[in-house]
């Protein structure tokens, strides 16, 4: 399904609620990075609620709901408030905005919070316009609001781009989990199609089992009515010969990308487990943009390899040995490659020219997204192992063409 055509119902609906001129529209523009909402100094510029569908990286397709002020007045104001209340029924995640200069009286906000909570949605408080109060008061106001209203509050100023990452992180952290990708690959093949999986062998294969991403992909293919045919690379040519028709899709271990690519007919879509996981957990378009940076790396650059767990490195470990070696062969032996593992994620991200992240099978989508947001806040490109390996092997375009949402990338 094309993300541009993602039905509104399938989008995460993020509602912005607050008094007139609490800065809702400016906050929408800050979060979306574009002039989505009309901003004015005059109270009550947003009359009827406005829903705008958009791609909000790294969250994916969302619908942003801009509402009229909940303190609107007069007959027309009452009508606007009732429309805003209707929007609450369509909201999946609410941002309740309090302007810092008005934070002394939250009687109105507490009433709306009850309305939002009745609808069982997560609510995040946003203390906005902190540039309009003394900086030494901000933390007191923020923690006071948290205590008073019983919801988390993030302190920002819609005028400062530096607050975007903080706000996005809060949205990602509190977004309902059922907005995680409903399928891994079920949308890129049809029922009854054969999907061939090329699993790792020998040293890369854990003894006696498949690794989690492979198990998850097999389950997803079965759940979506596909034929999951799993082989190791040495049996792959024989399997292809034995099929009456070519498979609808081949998903391979990234490490045998070049070999699979060289024998698989060009018209059969090819991708990797790691790329499939990147799509469901992270943000594939961000990772593709990151992988394209590999071509412009210089020997004097520093890159970061980030692994989400602290597994004991294998001989010829992909993250600790192979990727650093392939990158140095390409860029020059002087390339600095740092490695971070587990929950450690360096704070000096801005020193890196590129971050290469593992598939993050031990991470939730929110954890991986929060790393993407941190990288984006520092303007550091980020990619994932599988996407990077495809780029290094010159087959990036082939392995992403099966994903309709990347058509114009
Ligand atoms: S969390 Fe990352 S490094 Fe650890 S097993 Fe999963 S993909 Fe590999």
Give the domain CATH number at 128.
Answer: 3.40.50.300
Q: 225 and 321 share a domain?
A: no
The answer to the question of residue 365 being in a domain is yes
pLDDT in tens, 214-254: 888 999 999 999 999 999 999 999 999 999 999 999 999 98
Reported confidence tier of residue 6, pLDDT bands at 50, 70, 90: low
Q: What is the pLDDT of residue 204?
A: 61
CA of 33 to the centre of ligand 1 (A): 32
Q: Is residue 360 in contact with ligand 1, taking CB distance under 6 Å?
A: yes
Indicate which atom in ligand 1 lies nearest the CA of residue 363.
Answer: 1
CATH code of residue 237: 3.40.50.11420
Indicate which atom in ligand 1 lies nearest the CA of residue 358.
Answer: 2
Reported confidence tier of residue 213, pLDDT bands at 50, 70, 90: confident
Q: 130 and 107 share a domain?
A: yes
Reported confidence tier of residue 5, pLDDT bands at 50, 70, 90: very low
Task: Yes or no: say if 335 and 257 are a contact pair by the CB < 8 Å rule.
Answer: no
Mutation choice for ligand 1 from 277, 308, 389, CB with most ligand atoms inside 8 A? 308
Q: What would the two tokens of residue 323 be?
A: 């990727």
Burial of 339 (0-12, 13-18, 19+ CB in 10 A): middle
Residue 129 has pLDDT above 60, yes or no: yes
Last residue of some domain: 124, 151, 179? 179
Cβ contacts of 65 within 8 Å, gap of 6 or more: 13, 14, 15, 16, 49, 50, 51, 87, 90, 91
The larger pLDDT score, comparing residue 282 to residue 213, is at 213
Q: 146 and 175 share a domain?
A: yes
CA of 309 to the centre of ligand 1 (A): 6
User: Distance between alpha carbon 335 and the CA centroid of its chain, in Å?
Assistant: 29
Average pLDDT over residues 307-314: 79
d(CA 280, CA 267): 24
Q: 228 and 166 share a domain?
A: no
Reported confidence tier of residue 1, pLDDT bands at 50, 70, 90: very low
Q: Above pLDDT 90, what percent of the chain?
A: 52
Count how many domains the chain has.
3
CA of 340 to the centre of ligand 1 (A): 12
Nearest protein Cα to ligand 1, atom 7: 359
CA of 276 to the centre of ligand 1 (A): 14
Domain that holds residue 240: 194-276
The larger pLDDT score, comparing residue 153 to residue 91, is at 153
Q: 13 and 152 share a domain?
A: yes
Q: Is residue 385 in contact with ligand 1, taking CB distance under 6 Å?
A: no
CA of 92 to the centre of ligand 1 (A): 31
The larger pLDDT score, comparing residue 81 to residue 215, is at 215
d(CA 331, CA 241): 39
Task: Yes or no: say if 238 and 205 are a contact pair by the CB < 8 Å rule.
Answer: no
Last residue of some domain: 131, 149, 179? 179
Sheet harboring 227-232: ordered strands across?
227-232, 194-199, 249-252, 270-272
Q: Is residue 311 in contact with ligand 1, taking CB distance under 6 Å?
A: yes
54-58, 346-350, 358-362: which range is least confident on average?
54-58
C-alpha separations of 406 from 14, 252, 265, 399, 409 in Å = 24, 19, 22, 11, 5
Nearest protein Cα to ligand 1, atom 6: 361
- Among residues 172, 173, 160, the alpha carbon closest in space to that of 30 is found at 160
**For helices 365-377 and 273-281, angle between their N-to-C axes, nearest 10 degrees:** 80
Q: 289 and 260 share a domain?
A: no
Q: 123 and 74 share a domain?
A: yes
Q: 295 and 378 share a domain?
A: yes
Q: 235 and 300 share a domain?
A: no
The answer to the question of residue 187 being in a domain is no
Q: 9 and 57 share a domain?
A: yes
Task: Yes or no: say if 96 and 17 are a contact pair by the CB < 8 Å rule.
Answer: yes
The larger pLDDT score, comparing residue 217 to residue 83, is at 217
Whole-number average pLDDT of the chain: 87
Mutation choice for ligand 1 from 253, 276, 311, CB with most ligand atoms inside 8 A? 311
Nearest protein Cα to ligand 1, atom 4: 309
Indicate which atom in ligand 1 lies nearest the CA of residue 309.
Answer: 4
Residue 10 has pLDDT above 70, yes or no: no
Indicate which atom in ligand 1 lies nearest the CA of residue 359.
Answer: 7
The larger pLDDT score, comparing residue 70 to residue 109, is at 109
Q: 200 and 130 share a domain?
A: no
- Which range in 4-8, 27-31, 351-355 is most confidently predicted, on average pLDDT? 351-355
Q: What would the two tokens of residue 134 be?
A: 């003394």
Q: 171 and 28 share a domain?
A: yes
């Amino acid at each position: 399904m094309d993300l541009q055509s993602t039905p509104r119902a399938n989008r995460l609906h993020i509602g912005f609620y607050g008094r007139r001129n609490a800065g809702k529209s400016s906050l929408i523009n800050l979060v979306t990075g574009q002039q989505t909402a009309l901003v004015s100094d005059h109270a009550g510029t947003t009359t009827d609620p406005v829903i705008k569908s958009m791609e909000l990286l790294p969250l994916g397709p969302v619908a942003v709901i801009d509402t009229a002020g909940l303190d609107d007045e007069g007959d027309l104001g009452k009508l606007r408030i009732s429309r805003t209340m209707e929007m609450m029924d369509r909201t999946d995640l609410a941002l309740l905005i309090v302007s810092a200069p008005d934070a002394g009286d939250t009687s109105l906000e507490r009433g709306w919070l009850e309305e939002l909570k009745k609808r069982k949605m997560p609510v995040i408080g946003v203390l906005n316009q902190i540039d309009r109060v003394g900086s030494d008061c901000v933390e007191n106001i923020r923690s006071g609001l948290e205590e008073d209203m019983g919801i988390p509050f993030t302190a920002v100023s819609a005028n400062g781009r530096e607050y975007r990452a903080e706000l996005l992180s809060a949205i990602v952290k509190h977004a309902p989990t059922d907005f995680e990708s409903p399928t891994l690959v079920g949308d890129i093949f049809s029922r009854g199609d054969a999907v061939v999986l090329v699993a790792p062998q020998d040293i890369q294969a854990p003894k006696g089992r498949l690794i989690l991403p492979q198990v998850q992909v097999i389950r997803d293919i079965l759940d979506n009515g596909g034929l999951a045919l799993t082989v190791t690379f040495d049996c792959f040519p024989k399997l292809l010969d034995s099929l009456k028709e070519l498979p609808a899709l081949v998903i391979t271990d990234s490490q045998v990308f070049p070999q699979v690519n060289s024998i698989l007919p060009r018209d059969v879509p090819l991708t990797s487990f790691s790329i499939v996981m990147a799509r469901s957990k992270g943000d594939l378009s961000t990772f593709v943009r990151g992988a394209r940076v590999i071509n412009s790396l210089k020997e004097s650059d520093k890159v970061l390899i980030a692994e989400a767990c602290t597994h004991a490195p294998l001989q010829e470990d992909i993250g600790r040995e192979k990727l650093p070696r392939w990158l140095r062969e390409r860029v020059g032996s002087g390339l600095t490659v740092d490695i971070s593992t587990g929950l450690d994620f360096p704070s000096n991200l801005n020193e890196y020219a590129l971050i290469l992240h593992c598939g993050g099978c031990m991470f939730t989508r929110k954890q991986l997204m929060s790393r993407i947001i941190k990288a984006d806040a520092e303007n550091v490109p980020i990619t994932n192992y599988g996407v990077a390996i495809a780029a290094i092997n010159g087959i990036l375009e082939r392995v992403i063409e099966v994903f309709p949402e990347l058509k114009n990338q």
